[in-house]
Amino acid sequence: MGLAFFGLTYETAPQVRVNLFTQIHEIVFHGNGGYSYDVIYNMPTWLRKFTFNQINDFYRQQKEAMEKTSGGNTTNVIDASGNVDKATFMKNSPYRTQMSKTSKS
């Protein structure tokens, strides 16, 4: 067993390092250009965690709002083999009335 510095051991240090750099990446990437790597790396831990949680909450709420507006009424027109199901496509197409008018003439 190695020396533990505030609970950090030789076994846990690699995972802690991966978690740190993952959190930095997520803030920089999802911060939409508002943060640079150096700013986040040198940010106090409490502030970095707060920023990460705020960005995470924002994207979670955005996802929930998108799911709410779609109402679960999505239809997949691609079948399991990767081909377009023509009947489902025609049934759900916003242009079906225009297509039927042009095909009659």
What is the predicted pLDDT for the residue at 41? 93
What is the predicted pLDDT for the residue at 84? 81
What is the predicted pLDDT for the residue at 8? 77
**pLDDT tens over the chain, length 105 residues:** 555 567 778 888 889 899 999 999 999 999 888 899 999 999 999 999 999 999 999 999 998 888 887 765 666 777 778 788 788 778 777 776 655 555 555
User: DSSP letter string over 16-80?
Assistant: HHHHHHHHHHHHHHHTTTS--HHHHHTS-HHHHHHHHHHHHHHHHHHHHHHHHHHTT-----B-T
Burial class (CB in 10 A: 0-12, 13-18, 19+), 27: buried
What is the predicted pLDDT for the residue at 2? 55
What is the predicted pLDDT for the residue at 42? 94
Half-sphere exposure of 31 (CA within 13 A, CB side): 17
Q: What are the residue ranges spanned by the domains of the chain?
A: 1-72, 75-105
Degrees to nearest 5, angle at CA 103 with 101 and 105 = 75
Closest CA to 30 of 3, 60, 67, 64: 60
